[in-house]
Structure 1
Amino acid sequence: MYADHLHSIQALAAHLPYHLLDTDRANETFATWCRERSAQSLETLDLWTYCFVHRYFLIKFMKDAAYPPADLDELIDTTFKKIAKHRAALPCDTRYASWVSVICKNTFLNYATRRPPLLPLPPTLPAGSPQADPFAPHEPALVTHLVLRAIDRLPPALRDVTRMRLLEQRSYEEIGRRLKRPLPTLRAYLNKALKRLRKDPGLRRLYGKDW
C-alpha cells in the first residue's frame, strides 16, 4: 500500500548532498539559507524538509493500519506548507531539524486526537470458540455489506458524511468541499452517526453487544 511512498522518498532523497538523517548538515543548510537567502540553499532545504516530513508521517501510518491512507498525503502537504511559511521568522542558529521534528509531532498528535475512531474490525475468534458463528464469517465483503446497510438506515443528513469517512476513508477537508459543509458540522454528524451505528442490530451481532 505504501510502496509508492517509500520509492518516492528514496528517489527524492537521492538528490540531497547528504543523508536524509544527517540532521547536522540539515541545520547547516538552514543556517546558510537564513544568512544568504540563496536559491540553491533553499532548494536543498525544501528537498530535505519534504523528505523528512514525508518519512515521519509514512512511518506513523505504516505502524498503525487504523489511520486512513487517504489522510497521509494531506498531512504531508499541510505540514510542509506550515514549515515553509514560518521558518523565515526563526533565528539563524535554530536547530532546524529539531524544530521540524516538533512541528511534525504536534501536527500528528492533533490529527490523532481529533480524528474520530473508524469502525474497528471484529475480533478474530479462536477455532472452537463457543461465541464463533460459522454462518457469519467476518469476511471483508460481508463487513462492508453490513456497514453499508446500516449506513442506509441512518437519517439522510448523516449518510453521505458517514459513507465518505468510514468506507471511502476521505479526509474531512475533502468531504467538506464535496458536501459544502463546515468541518465542525461534519464531525458532529459523524459522532451522531457512530452512536446510531453502535446500536444497529446487524452490526451489534457482527461486532458484539459492547463494541
Structure 2
Amino acid sequence: MIPVVLLVSITCLHSFSGFAASKAEKEKTKGNVVIFEDGWQDLNPAAGETKTGNFTAISLKGEPVQADNKKWTGRWGNWSVNDIDGSPKRGVVMVPGKQVNDDWLVSEIIGLENCKKAELLIEAYSKYGTDHANELKVLISENYADDVETAQWDELYLESIHKQDQAVERTISLKKYMGKSIVIAFRSIHSGNSLKNLTRTCFLSKVKVTAVRK
C-alpha cells in the first residue's frame, strides 16, 4: 500500500504540474507577439510562381500583365529583393514600366483585439523614376469587404523609401486601431502625362504586425 501522506504529495505534485503547464500555455498568448506576417518566405520558388503570400493583388487601372510585371508579384532567385542587410530574399515587387496603373496589395484580416500596443513593420525600397507621378501609399481599412473602392481607408504616413538599392526599415504605430479588425493595403499609383517619369520599381521584403497582448 502507498502511505496516505505520499499519495497526497503525489496528487498535489500532479495538480501543480498541470497548473504550471496551463499557465505556461496561457502566457504564450500574452506579451509581445506577432499578429501578422506577409508569408512570402513560405512560398515555393517554382517557375512562374506569382503568389503574394498573405496578401491579395488587385489591379484597378492598367493591364495587369504578369509577363511584364505590371502588377504586384512574388520575386526570388535572380529577381529577388534585397533585405535591410543587402542580402537577396523573397518578397514582392511592382514593376509598372512606363504605364499608368493603380495596383493594390491587400492583407488578410488582422485582429487587434485584446491588444494594448501594436506596430506595423515595413522593410521596403523603390528605385528609378521621380517622386512626381509615382506614389506608394500605406492604407488601413476597418470595413474592407473584398472591394477596395467601397471600403473606407486611412492613409498612414510612410517616410520616403525612394532612391535605395536595398530595403530600409519603417515602423508605424497602430495605436488608433486597438481592439479592432483591420486590413493593410499597399497602393501603387503611376499617373500623369509624362511617361518618362513613370519608371519607379517598388520592392517589399518584409511586412509584419507585432502587438502586446493583454
The alignment's TM-score, normalised by the length of structure 1, stands at 0.24
Larger RCO: 1 or 2 (CA < 8 Å, sep 6+): 2
Structure in which a larger fraction of residues adopt helix:
1
